[in-house]
Every structure is written in structure tokens, then in C-alpha cells.
Amino acid sequence: MPSVNVRVAVAAVVVVGCGAPAVQAGFPPLEVQWSLDGSVVLDDLPFGVPNGTGGFRYDGGGTFGAVSMSYSLVGTPDPRISGSFALQNFSLATVEVVLQVTLPISPALLDSTSLTGSVAVGMTADDDGGTLAALAGIPFWQGLLDGIPVGGATDLLIGLNIMIAGPGSPDGAEEGFFQVVGPSVLETIGIRISFSLTPGEQVSFTSVFDVVPGPGGLAVVLFAAVLTRRRRRSG
């Protein structure tokens, strides 16, 4: 059967000031949590394998009812989280999904921080078409510091709604980048991705969240940057 591919790309960059680069002695475990329709189905503390560039790679996933999930992540002590995720909805109903990745840090990053984040998402729909959407009132992508969303310009794809009526030409969207000030971080950094997906569809993501002390110890003004949005359709 023919299928439809959708690509959405987003980048977010945050710039701030203070302090020197963080150094970690050892590397704490990364946590990966998937929730389906409000219930946690996977709460994983995967074993990290050194990746040869100062970080650790983590792989895992599983099938929960009629939904399959997988992830391949890299965590580094900067701290930084990067990697890819995939989900396929084999069920007969729309599912609501929340993915959260949390990385403990040591030492704390005091004063302000420099944050960089990005996400790209792609959906493949079956012949009946489908919809990938942000949950009501919740940004599709959020950067977390000590478990709390940074908010503001770092909330990405607010109100995302990608709908494919049926087989046809790809439809895509692109958004630009932001530069904002980040607060201090005492214990963890993380990312949260929240969405709904209709039956029969597949979705995949790549994402990065990088947090370091801002340079020089001076507060930096908020840069609310360039936002570009482009939609195209052929057919």
C-alpha cells in the first residue's frame, strides 16, 4: 500500500552568561519514561556503553499492548542529551503519548546557563491517512531543568497538528531558532515530548538538549530571535 511521509524540523538555541565548563567525575544513569494515555508503560534506567567521544550510548524500548516504542540516546557529562525515538500505533484507537528523558548532573550549574535544543519529527501514515498532534495546551517539545519546563521560547511546536487526509504528496513544515536565557540547574536536565497519534501511523524523532554554564559570569539580555515558518504542498 502507498504511504505518506511528513517531515517537521525545529531548532532552539538559548544563550546566557556565567561560570566555567562543568566537569563530572563519573556519569549518572539516564532515565527514559514513556506514558500511554496517562499511564507509565516504560520507566527505564538503561545501561550506558561508552561511545568513544566522552559520552555514553543507551538503547531500549518495547511493545506495550498494540504500541511499539524504541530509543537510541547519547548522554554526555557537559551535560547533553541527544538521540532518536520511534513509535508505531498498531491499535484501533488514537493514543496520547508522553516521552520524558532525564539526565542527572554533577556538579550543579549555578547562576545562568547556556542552552541549546532541537527536535525533528517525521510521520508515516497508512492509506487512510492520519494525524499527529500536540496535546491540548501542551507544547510538543519542552526542555526541562530540574524537572521543570524552561518555557517561553524553548517551548517548541505549540499547537502542532499534522493531518494527512489520505495517500498523496508529502506535506511539511519548518520553524527557525530561538536564543533565550536559561536559569541555574541543581540536579537534572531533560526533554519532554507530548503528542497524540491516530491508529496505523508511525512517528520518529531526533532531538538534542545541551546545557552548559554561560560564559563570563555576566547576565545576557533575552534574544527572542528569528522565527521562520514555511509550508509547502504539491499534488
Write out pLDDT tens, residues 76-89. Answer: 988 999 999 999 99
- End-to-end alpha-carbon separation of the chain, Å? 18
Query: How big is the CA angle at 145 (ends 140 and 148), to the nearest 5 degrees?
Result: 65
Mean pLDDT of all residues belonging to the chain: 78
Residue 153, φ and ψ in degrees, nearest 5: -70, -10
pLDDT of residue 72: 97
pLDDT category at 161 given cuts 50, 70, 90 is confident
- If we measure between CA atoms, which residue out of 172, 95, 173 comes closest to residue 135? 95
- The number of distinct structural domains making up the chain is 1
Query: pLDDT digits over 9-19, tens only?
Result: 434 443 333 33
Q: What's residue 122's pLDDT?
A: 85
Which sign, positive or negative, has the C-alpha torsion 194, 40, 58, 71? negative
Q: Which of 110, 107, 190 is nearest to 154 (CA)?
A: 190
pLDDT above 90 for 103: yes
Do residues 83 and 103 make contact, with C-beta atoms less than 8 angstroms apart?
no
Range of the domain at 178: 4-205+212-233
Q: Do the beta carbons of residue 92 and residue 67 sit within 8 Å?
A: no
15-31 residue pLDDT tens: 333 333 333 334 568 99
Sign of CA dihedral 141, 143, 147, 148: negative
pTM of the model: 0.81
